Amino acid sequence: MSQKVIAGITLDVNEEGYLTNPAQWTREIAKEIAREEGIDLTDKHFLVLDFIRDRQQKGEMLTIRSVGNSGITDIKGFYQLFPGAPMKKAAKIAGITKPASCV
């Protein structure tokens, strides 16, 4: 495991840059990681991030479709918020491990 300094705080991250301890996450850290991904976080982004952190904490399945059904945004909207690979990007910014949506 390696470490990385984000927003002035030393964090545990895995080899792909995902936080390994979700408890270390703050909104400032999210903004910083988002900037690295070329995303400027809005309130809408944070609603999505809170949703996926909550699902992950409950140990529930997390997929693009589940975000699309969350009532916060639809799948198209999710792609617009986190372009390219929305689940992977959102997970990284939300400070959770990459969701193993299949296994």
Partner 1 sequence: MKKLLILGAGTGGTIMANKMRHALDPLAWEITIIDQDNRHYYQPGFLFLPFGYYRERDVLKPRDRFLPSGVRFLVGKITGIDPEQNKVFLSDGSALSYDFLIIATGTRIVPAETPGLTGPLWQKSIFDFYTAEGALALGRFLENWQGGELVLNLADMPIKCPVAPLEFAFLADTFFTKKGLRKKVNISYVTPLSGAFTKPRAAKMLGALLEEKNIRIVPDFYLERVDDEKKMLVSYDEREVPFDLLVTIPVHKGEEVIEKSGLGDEMGFVKADKNTLVSLSYPNVFVLGDAGNFPASKAGSVAHFQAEILAENLLCAIRQRPFTASFDGHSNCFIETGFGRGTLIDFNYETEPLPGVFPYAGIGPLQLLKETRMNHYGKLAFRWIYWDILLRGRKMPISNKMSMKGKKP
**What is the contact surface with partner 1 in residues (CB under 8 A)?**
59-61, 63-66, 69, 75-76, 79, 83-85, 88, 100-103
Tell me the closest approach of the beta carbon of residue 97 to partner 1, in angstroms: 11
69 burial type by CB count under 10 A (0-12 exposed, 13-18 middle, 19+ buried):
exposed
- Residues 67 and 48: beta-carbon distance below 8 Å: yes
In the bound state with partner 1, the residue whose beta carbon lies nearer, of 24 and 66, is 66
Tell me the closest approach of the beta carbon of residue 6 to partner 1, in angstroms: 23
Q: What is the dihedral of CA 88, 89, 92, 93, to 10 degrees?
A: -150
In the bound state with partner 1, the residue whose beta carbon lies nearer, of 8 and 71, is 71
Residues with active-site annotation: 102
